[in-house]
């Protein structure tokens, strides 16, 4: 009996199940419609108007909404992402997807925020009950906290202040277009802080090539790390990476290109700017490296006959439009100086950072096909080694690294004074060098200075560079 009853029940369930499946296929049930409703009412002000409420010092507490205090609501667009470990428990957003006028950062006591608020998410903030003010010189949004003037929003009440904006069926996600800036610009205008920027034609400084993006401490744990970016004019900026950043195997490439990051800051002054990527995909370095720290070169003219006595330049000038003043190692340039009414250019490692090498190339364009000879006057001071060398080259491309060119040394054809060891000598003719007949085409006469602030600290002066 028990077996028979079991079979009857099983058969009935099978028939019922088959009927249900048949109904589903016949009626073609649709998935339930996704309904997205905005949690907060429409904005009552722009994000820029809200940011303007931040005081110069201290914080502004936004009153709770009541009969006498209206709702304070504004919109923004998320530009940060903690998917790869940066932006720990923070959300960075700007007022528009493109050409923003202001950015903000808010602390959220919750990780993996990219899942709820991905890049481009259109968010709405109801700021009643929140505080806004400066934290480490950056305008910051948050809540009151017993330990901090501006605290993170507790995870349990995030939705009280921040919610996504609907586009009909789900979260509205915009395409964020990073604003194109330069390294000089990001330090000149505070409105760029906490906005997404792209810097083109940039690279990591030469000394960091081959290093990991993130350092380790003695225990082997990854730590917060600063790396340095540089542009063709020698402007620099810090790229800051959190120790929790996931793509830890990334190695700094021997390339240049474009980088996208969020402009950030921690403290007062230009040196406090630090910029943060969302992931290594923000680094697009695929082009050859360019020369760092080249000044001048905006009016190069290859000539076979000229004399340069530097009298037309202002004192301490380092920008020579007709020539290239190339600080290859260190940050020192040939500059115009004067003695007894005579101007010349001077280069020295004296007074530089301890145990630091300084290498500079002064490149003079020449039409070697029509040029016959080269002469110049030279003087040295505080002699501690031969710091000056002279070369010719016909394959250097302005704007590229000097290492890509073939340099033919001609130093031995000139006489450079070796005294005095203290003080200065006098500018004297170094001699005349007859350029080889087979040296033709456009190229450069290259004066190379190489010294060390704690070793070879010779000061070199050049004047009356003459090609005939």
Could you list the pLDDT tens digit for every one of the 468 residues in the chain?
444 444 444 444 444 444 443 344 444 445 455 567 899 999 999 999 999 999 999 999 999 999 999 999 999 999 999 999 999 999 999 999 999 999 999 999 999 999 999 999 999 999 999 999 999 899 999 999 988 889 999 999 999 999 999 988 899 999 999 999 999 999 887 889 999 999 999 999 988 999 999 999 999 999 999 999 999 877 899 999 999 898 888 999 999 999 999 999 988 877 789 999 999 999 999 998 888 788 899 999 999 999 999 999 999 999 999 999 999 888 899 999 999 999 999 999 887 777 888 999 999 999 999 999 999 999 999 988 889 999 999 999 998 889 889 999 999 999 988 777 888 899 999 999 999 999 999 999 999 999 988 878 899 999 999 999
| String of DSSP letters for 372-434 | -EEEEEEEEES--S--EEEEEES---TTB-GGGS--EE-GGGS------SSSB---EEEEEEE
Q: How far apart are CA 146 and CA 427, in angstroms?
A: 70
Pair of tokens at residue 316: 């301490």
Q: Are 338 and 315 in contact (CB under 8 A)?
A: yes
Q: How far apart are CA 298 and CA 324, in angstroms?
A: 9
Q: What integer pLDDT is reported at residue 419 of this predicted model?
A: 74
SS3 271: helix
Pair of tokens at residue 154: 């507790």
| Domain residue extents for the chain | 47-164, 179-287, 294-467
- 208: DSSP letter: G
Run of H or E residues at 167 = none
Instruction: List 104's β-bridge partners, or say none.
Output: 93
Fold exhibited by the domain 294-467: Jelly Rolls (2.60.120)
Q: What integer pLDDT is reported at residue 30 of this predicted model?
A: 54
Residue among 385, 391, 403, 399 nearest 364 (CA)? 391
Distances, alpha carbon 26 to alpha carbons 12, 20, 21, 31, 153, in Å: 21, 10, 9, 15, 51
Q: Are 346 and 317 in contact (CB under 8 A)?
A: no
Q: How far apart are CA 266 and CA 244, in angstroms?
A: 19
Q: Are 468 and 373 in contact (CB under 8 A)?
A: yes
pTM of the model: 0.73
Span 179-287 CATH architecture:
Beta Barrel (2.40)
Q: Are 93 and 79 in contact (CB under 8 A)?
A: yes
Q: What integer pLDDT is reported at residue 33 of this predicted model?
A: 53
């Amino acid at each position: 009996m028990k077996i028979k009853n079991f079979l009857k029940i099983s058969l009935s369930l099978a028939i019922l199940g088959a009927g249900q499946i048949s109904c589903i296929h016949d009626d073609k049930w649709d998935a339930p419609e996704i309904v997205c409703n905005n949690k907060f009412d429409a904005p009552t002000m722009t994000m820029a108007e809200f940011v303007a409420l931040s005081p110069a010092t201290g914080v502004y507490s936004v009153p709770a909404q009541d009969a006498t205090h209206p709702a304070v609501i504004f919109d923004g667009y998320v530009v940060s992402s903690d998917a790869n470990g940066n932006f720990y428990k923070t959300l960075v957003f700007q007022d528009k997807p493109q050409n923003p006028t202001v950015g903000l950062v808010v602390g959220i006591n919750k990780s993996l925020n990219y899942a709820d608020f991905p890049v481009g998410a259109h968010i709405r903030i109801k700021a009643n009950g929140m505080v806004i003010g400066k934290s480490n010189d950056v305008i910051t949004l948050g809540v009151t906290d017993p330990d901090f003037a501006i605290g993170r929003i507790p995870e349990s009440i995030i939705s009280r202040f921040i919610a996504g904006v609907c586009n009909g069926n789900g979260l509205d996600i915009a395409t964020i277009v990073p604003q194109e800036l330069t390294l000089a610009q990001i330090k000149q205008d505070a409105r760029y802080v906490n906005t997404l920027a792209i810097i083109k034609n940039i690279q990591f400084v030469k000394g960091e090539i081959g290093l990991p993006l993130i350092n380790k401490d003695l225990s082997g744990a990854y730590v917060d790390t600063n790396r340095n970016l540089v542009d063709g004019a020698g402007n620099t900026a810090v790229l800051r990476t959190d120790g929790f950043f996931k793509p830890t195997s990334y190695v700094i490439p021997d390339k240049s290109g474009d980088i996208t990051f969020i402009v950030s800051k921690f403290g007062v002054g230009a040196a406090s700017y630090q910029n943060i990527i969302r992931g290594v995909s923000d680094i697009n370095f695929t082009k050859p490296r360019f020369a760092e720290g080249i000044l001048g070169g905006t009016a190069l003219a290859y000539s076979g006959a000229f004399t340069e006595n530097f009298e037309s330049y202002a004192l301490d000038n380092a920008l020579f439009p007709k020539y290239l003043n190339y600080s290859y190692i260190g940050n020192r340039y040939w500059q115009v100086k004067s003695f007894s009414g005579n101007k010349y250019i001077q280069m020295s490692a004296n007074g530089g950072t301890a145990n630091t090498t300084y290498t500079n190339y002064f490149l003079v364009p020449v039409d070697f096909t029509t040029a016959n000879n080269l002469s110049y006057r030279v003087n040295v001071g505080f002699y501690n080694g031969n710091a000056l060398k002279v070369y010719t080259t016909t394959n250097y491309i302005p704007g590229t690294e000097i290492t890509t060119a073939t340099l033919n040394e001609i130093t031995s054809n000139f006489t450079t004074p070796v005294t005095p060891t203290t003080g200065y000598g006098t500018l004297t003719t170094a001699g005349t060098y007859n350029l080889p007949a087979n040296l033709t085409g456009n190229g450069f006469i290259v004066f190379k200075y190489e010294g060390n602030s704690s070793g070879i600290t010779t000061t070199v002066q050049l004047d009356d560079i003459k090609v005939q």
